[in-house]
Amino acid sequence: MGFVFFLPKDEYKRMRILQFMAESFLLLVIVLLLGVFLNRFLKFFDDEIGFLFLIVLMSALGYGIIRYIFSGIEYVTVFDKNDFKKELKKISRSGFKFAFIFFAISSSLKFFNVINFNWYDIFGLTFIVLILIILMNYISLCFSFKKNAE
C-alpha cells in the first residue's frame, strides 16, 4: 500500500478516514458522471471543462474534510473542560503559526514577483485562512468533546 504512512496509527481513526475517502471517491464518480452526461447530451460545459474539474475536485475534497470535522474523532483525549481549554489554546497557537508561515510565503512570492497580488489581498487571504483553520479545528474539538463525554 502506497500512502499508508499518511494515515493515523489508531485503527478506529484509520478506518473512519478510509470510509470518508471512499465516500468522497463515490461522490467524485457521481459528479463526474453527471458532468459527462451534461456535457455529452446537453452541451452544458462546452468551454468550461476546467470549471467542471474544479467543481468535481472541490466537492470531493470538501465532502471529505467536512465529514472528518463533524465526525468527532480528531481529539480523542479531550474529556473535561480543562482538556478542552488546553486544546483550544493549542488550536489558536497552531492557527497563528500557520497564518504566519502562509503570510511569509505569500510575501516572499510577492517580493520576488512570482505573484502579482496587492498587499491587501495577501493580508485578507491570510486573515481568511487563519479564521477558517481555527474555526474548522474548533468545530472538530467541540464535536470530539461531545462525543468523548458520551
**What pLDDT sits at residue 15?**
86
Q: What angle do CA 124, 126, 130 make, to 5 degrees?
A: 115
**What pLDDT sits at residue 46?**
62
Average pLDDT, the chain: 86
Domain ranges of the chain: 4-71, 81-149
What percentage of the chain exceeds 70 in pLDDT? 90
**What pLDDT sits at residue 138?**
96
The contacts of residue 88 (CB under 8 Å, 6+ apart) are 138, 141
What would the grid cell of residue 37 be?
A: 452526461
User: In order along the chain (150 residues), what is the average pLDDT of each group of 10 residues?
Assistant: 68 83 86 77 67 78 89 88 94 95 93 87 94 95 90
